[in-house]
Amino acid sequence: MPENAATLEWIAVATLDDLWEGEMTDVQVGDDLILLVHLNRGDIRAYQGYCPHQKTALADGKLDGHILTCAAHLWQFNLFTGEGVNPKGCQLYRYQARIQDSTIFVGIVRAENGESSWKQCSPQNS
């Protein structure tokens, strides 16, 4: 197997009854804190659960439509894409998510080298 080989493992983390449209929550999967968001049109997104600025739990923030504002320092993210709105140039790590029989599954990449999927950004204009 190649040195950087990884496998995708699907983990059941919630049900649609647990996460209604317009809601978000965090779930712990192993060492990963994952932000689950049920956007409009039934879209489920899963992102790293910590803000890339100073590792504050994103589920503690405010969700306004598809814009999430971090509770700690008001960084904002577009939850359709994971891209930073304020500041720009930052990107949340996105996990694969799927729904099967009303159960929400998140795809966890298990890397053999043990690298974390959590991303960190520095403010560009702070």
CATH number of the domain residue 23 falls in? 2.102.10.10
pLDDT band for position 74 (cuts 50, 70, 90): very high
69: in domain:
yes
The number of folded domains in the chain is: 1
123: in domain:
no
What is the C-alpha separation between 21 and 15, in angstroms, rounded? 12
Look at residue 106 and tell me whether its pLDDT is greater than 80: yes
Please give the pLDDT value at position 25. Answer: 97
What is the C-alpha separation between 109 and 72, in angstroms, rounded? 28
pLDDT band for position 40 (cuts 50, 70, 90): confident
CB 40 within 8 A of CB 49: no
Look at residue 77 and tell me whether its pLDDT is greater than 90: yes
User: How much of the chain, in percent, has pLDDT values that exceed 70?
Assistant: 83
Of the listed ranges 32-36, 75-79, 92-96, 116-120, the least confidently predicted one is 116-120
β-bridge partners, 88: none
118: in domain:
no
Q: Which residues of 62-84 are buried (b: 16+ CB within 10 A; e: fewer)?
A: ebeebebbbeeeebbbebeebeb
DSSP, collapsed to helix, strand or coil, labels residue 60 as helix
End-to-end CA distance of the chain: 44
Whole-number mean pLDDT of the chain? 87
74: in domain:
yes
By residue range, what is the domain housing residue 99?
Answer: 6-111
